[in-house]
Structure 1
Amino acid sequence: MVEPESLSILVVDDSEFFANLVAETLSEEHGMATTAVTDPREAVSIAAEGSIDCLVSDYQMPDLTGLELYDAIVDKTDVPFILVTSEGDETVASRAIRKGVDEYILKQDINEADALELLANRIDNVVDRHRTQQKYERLVANAPDEISQVRLDGTILAANETMARAFNTTTDELAGQQLSSILPEDVADNRRTQGRRAITAGSVVTFQDSIGLRHFHNIVVPLTTGSEKDSVQIVTREITLQKHNEEQLRRKKEELTFINRIVSHDIKNDVSVISGWADVLTEHTDPEAIEMVERIRNTSDHIAELAQIAKDFVDSIEGTTDVALEAIDLGETVDTEVSKLRSKHDDVTISVGDDIAAVVRANELLSSVIGNLLTNAIRHNDGAPAIDITAEQTATTVVLRIADNGPGVPDSEKEAVFEKGRKGAESPGSGIGLYLVSKLVDQYNGEIWVEDNEPAGAVFAVELPIYDPEMN
């Protein structure tokens, strides 16, 4: 509601006594700045100056009736208008409402009210509505979207500047035209149909349509304002660029799917063949060449790891925006990845705590998170790798820590290590694994960070939400 002291009120009544009484009471009891006049023609001049917030006028006056006064000022100013009359004729009230008068009130009602409380409230309400309407109209006029009011027969009642510019015309020229005169017939017919749906349902309807290569998103709002009750407001936003981007994204996802098939099948199969050949060569190679065979085997293992990382990464982004999360046994996942690591690296020492029995909210790619962190702990260690895995659990989260005895991570790199393609100068890795780990943990609504290990090495800490059946 508006503050009363901010309002300037013009009171018009051929009775000087009544005009002054109303003006003085509104001023003294309600803090309004008031002006009282008995000549309606003088009121026309004052209203045209645009300095008043509301005009309160008697209906039955000798020179101009209240409705004639309204007709005289309606084209000059947009001031709220309250009609006061001693007549209780419903015909007068009906005429006033049809013309656009904001309020209609009987003199006997405001006389009986203490300190004109009823009239003051009506003034406050109409000014509040008027100011809200002005803000809305400014918003519509300056909106970047095309906004129009349209009858169900397709007649455009009003349109904003954005729509006028879109059709290289003016808002006045658009008013009165048919939608089909500015839009293709099928598009105009569909928008009329959607308008009828909105009116019938009594609720907002949204839909998309296209004109040539251009695409639009439309919002249809049913209107119930006086004689225009069978009309709707249509808000139209061009989404051609969005559609173009969606198509590009769809094509990229198809390409990723194709690459994923190659990585998960062809490359992994070929690497397995190479590893098999290396095993055969070990039995038929002299001791001096064994080192070269070991290099072949290690490189093959590394390619296999990269292929698995690439597959997991594509899997993590190939689906929909909303990642499906489920209950995953953290302890079982850790045990599985530890067993895989031990089978490939005889020289690694791994200790697993007894406190990892937690069920977290993740998906099957959690194995890739743990597997990459374990592999990272070995790859960056030139000595005898030792890994310690522990967990701390609260009511809502569990923090898994994977500690190693490698060179550690400098403070300046503790956040950067999770960036795409980021790796140290001496790192044998690809810089993809930790980036994948970070993206997956983020999808799980978790956190990952690096700590210092004592006396040396790094600790990668992963915080994951505990699975809650009610939440899921």
Structure 2
Amino acid sequence: MKLKLPGTRDAFRRGCEEVSDPLRLLVVTGSPDDAGLIRQALAEARLPAEPVEYGQLAEGLDALRHQPFDLVLLDPGGLGPSAIGEVRGVAPAIPLILLVSPESLDAAVRTLRRGADDYLIRGEITPESLICSIRHALVVKRLETMLDRVEHLRREPGGSGEGRGVAIGVADITAQRRTEERVRRRNIHLHVINEVVRTATSSAGTDELLAGILEKTRALLDFDGGGAYLVGHNHSTAELVAETGLPEGFSFRRRIVGLDTPPYDAVIGRGIPCFVEDYPRACPQDAGAGIQAFASIPVVAGKRVIGAVNLVSRGAHVFSPDEREVLTSIGREVGSAVERMRLHEQANFYLDLMTHDINNANTVAIGYAMLLAEDLKGPEKELARKIGAAVWQSAEIVRNISTIRRIMEEVPAPGPVGLDPAVRCAIDLFPGADIHYTPQERWVAADDLLPAVFINLIGNAVKFGGPDVSVRIDVREEDGTVMVSVEDTGPGIPDAEKSLVFEKFRKGGRKSGKGLGLYIVRTLIERYGGKVRVEDRIPGRPECGAVFRFSLRGCPPVTGRAG
């Protein structure tokens, strides 16, 4: 019996250009929008296809048992965690494409590693992406089917000459199949590394960074637990700084390890990864821990090894060359992220120290300038006042930079804050200014940076309005929203500049400053979910002063707190 098989290039071309007329697609999803998206994309792609839709998994499985289908599109999220396995159990040879949401992409990648053929992301389904995914899945399954037929015929009794022809076909198909599989694994590994990098860049501190990366790596690559070590200042030991899923008494759960002990003498000492696929035999002291496989990856920053990431599996695990490569890459990404975090924390430490000392010096200098201004007269008194104003400007710059640092580094978490204490805190910083404010018991959604809004608005009015400026602060409530206005009798803001005053580094007039105050005001108000604008105090007469109006979300009063 002769068996004639096409070359892989021919098979791929036919898979892309010849589809059944029409293709029968089984769409099983709990989302009514999915079927519409698939139909629309198929129509735009002009692909001859007949989608058959079911909203229940049981209905879809029954259809698979009794009807012919070329491909299955499945929503695993809306049908339960067992849906993929049940579909594979009924129709193992039919290509399976997952319909996933962006937030469930990690789960989709784990599923691909267990046998799904491809996935499509909701909201990103286009005619091109749909037809590409369908063709990819069909070609892979066609090649697999051919290979199975060849293997079956090769095992049948027959002439040896037939077998030689079959063997040639097997090599050709296997090469294509391996290429497809390598591309798929490479895409999965790139996704894993991208997710690790994303986790690293969103972390607030070193401990959080390592815990997040460890958990992300463990979940995406199907490990059961792991730990992260960083080298100590003595360079002779490493400390366990993050761990998850490690059993009690496990050797690699020790808080402090020596760098002269295996495997750390190689992993950290020489930067050589360690992979153990038969852990009970390699480490009999942990025989009761239930660990079957173990990996220890060097954490590399530049040319230095600064730690190790350990991963364990309770099931049999073979570390393929691709997986070893991706784990080694993760070790480098972890090292770079830790080094950046350390430099950031070190810079913040010195910045905090410098800010503290400068503030102390400014406070003392402002106090002496005020004393001199009280005792002196004439030109000397004016000189003392200017000295005090210059030091105040220095304090303002330091205060604004500190506020911007917190805005950039902290995640907004507005909670109930007393408005009255925030206003009073700002007024106390301008003892000589003419400020009118009637205290009101209002609570708003904000945080402890709220006083900076009033400090910058009052300071802006005093700076541009001079010693005779008058400032008024009014507060009222409208349907759960607290409306605040801060008006002054200064020179006002020309209409052409009103839309620009909240921009960073925007300065008005000839006054000194860094142009950060009003930028901070807008940033904080928007951080709290409100809006701010500037108007003329007297409509149509900008020379008569300005009024800044902003909104804050009101909160119920909180008892037992002073704000």
Task: Please state how far the C-alpha of 1:253 moved relative to its aligned partner.
Answer: 1.5
Q: What is the TM-score when the length of structure 2 is the normalising length?
A: 0.46
SS of alignment partner, residue 461 of structure 1:
strand
Aligned to 2:453: 369
Aligned to 2:373: 278
Amino acid paired to 2:346: R
SS of alignment partner, residue 352 of structure 2:
helix
Given candidates 418, 428, 433, the residue that maps to 2:502 is 418
Q: CA–CA distance in 2 between the matches of 1:447 and 1:70?
A: 74
Aligned to 2:300: 210
Given candidates 242, 251, 263, the residue that maps to 2:346 is 251
Relative to structure 1, is the Cα distance of residues 252 and 363 closer, same or farther in structure 2, using a 3 angstrom cutoff? same
Whether 2:393 is the aligned partner of 1:297: answer no
Given candidates 347, 350, 374, the residue that maps to 2:436 is 350
SS of alignment partner, residue 464 of structure 1:
strand
Q: What is the TM-score when the length of structure 1 is the normalising length?
A: 0.54
C-alpha contact 1:337 1:371 (8 A) present in aligned 2: yes
Relative to structure 1, is the Cα distance of residues 336 and 265 closer, same or farther in structure 2, using a 3 angstrom cutoff? closer
Which digits, 9 at most, give the CA deviation of each residue in 1:154-197, with x for residues without a partner?
A: xxxxxxxxxxxxxxxxxxxxxxxxx99x977764466659x999
The 5-angstrom pairing of residues 61-460 of structure 1 reads 61-63=156-158, 73-78=169-174, 136-139=184-187, 187-188=271-272, 192=276, 209-210=299-300, 212-213=303-304, 229-231=317-319, 233-234=323-324, 235=326, 236-237=329-330, 238-239=332-333, 241-282=336-377, 289=378, 292-297=380-385, 299-301=387-389, 303-304=391-392, 306-311=394-399, 313-314=401-402, 317=405, 321-322=410-411, 326-338=415-427, 340-341=429-430, 343-345=431-433, 348=434, 350-352=436-438, 357-381=441-465, 384-393=468-477, 397-441=481-525, 444=528, 446-455=530-539, 456=542, 457-460=545-548
Relative to structure 1, is the Cα distance of residues 7 and 378 closer, same or farther in structure 2, using a 3 angstrom cutoff? same
Relative to structure 1, is the Cα distance of residues 464 and 213 closer, same or farther in structure 2, using a 3 angstrom cutoff? farther
Which digits, 9 at most, give the CA deviation of each residue in 1:69-109, with x for residues without a partner?
A: 9866442214999xxxxxxxxxxxxxxxxxx9xxxxxxxxx
Relative to structure 1, is the Cα distance of residues 444 and 5 closer, same or farther in structure 2, using a 3 angstrom cutoff? same
Tell me how many residue pairs correspond in the alignment: 341
For structure 1, the 5+ residue unaligned runs are 9-28, 33-48, 82-99, 101-129, 152-178, 283-288
Moved more, 424-433 or 437-446: 437-446
Task: Please state how far the C-alpha of 1:426 moved relative to its aligned partner.
Answer: 1.9
Which digits, 9 at most, give the CA deviation of each residue in 1:255-283, with x for residues without a partner?
A: 3122212222122112211211221224x
C-alpha contact 1:349 1:387 (8 A) present in aligned 2: yes
Task: Please state how far the C-alpha of 1:245 moved relative to its aligned partner.
Answer: 3.6
SS of alignment partner, residue 360 of structure 1:
strand
The structure with the largest alpha-carbon Rg is 1
SS of alignment partner, residue 171 of structure 2:
coil
SS of alignment partner, residue 462 of structure 2:
helix
C-alpha contact 2:296 2:308 (8 A) present in aligned 1: yes
For structure 2, the 5+ residue unaligned runs are 1-15, 25-66, 71-138, 195-216, 224-262, 281-285, 559-563
Q: CA–CA distance in 2 between the matches of 1:267 and 1:351?
A: 28
Q: CA–CA distance in 2 between the matches of 1:202 and 1:64?
A: 45
Amino acid paired to 1:398: V
Task: Please state how far the C-alpha of 1:435 moved relative to its aligned partner.
Answer: 3.7
Q: What RMSD over aligned residues (CA atoms) do the two structures have, in Å?
A: 5.5
Q: CA–CA distance in 2 between the matches of 1:395 and 1:205?
A: 59
SS of alignment partner, residue 406 of structure 1:
coil
Amino acid paired to 1:258: L
Relative to structure 1, is the Cα distance of residues 383 and 304 closer, same or farther in structure 2, using a 3 angstrom cutoff? closer
SS of alignment partner, residue 403 of structure 1:
strand
C-alpha contact 1:206 1:218 (8 A) present in aligned 2: yes
Amino acid paired to 2:488: D
Q: Percent identity?
A: 18
Relative to structure 1, is the Cα distance of residues 261 and 458 closer, same or farther in structure 2, using a 3 angstrom cutoff? same
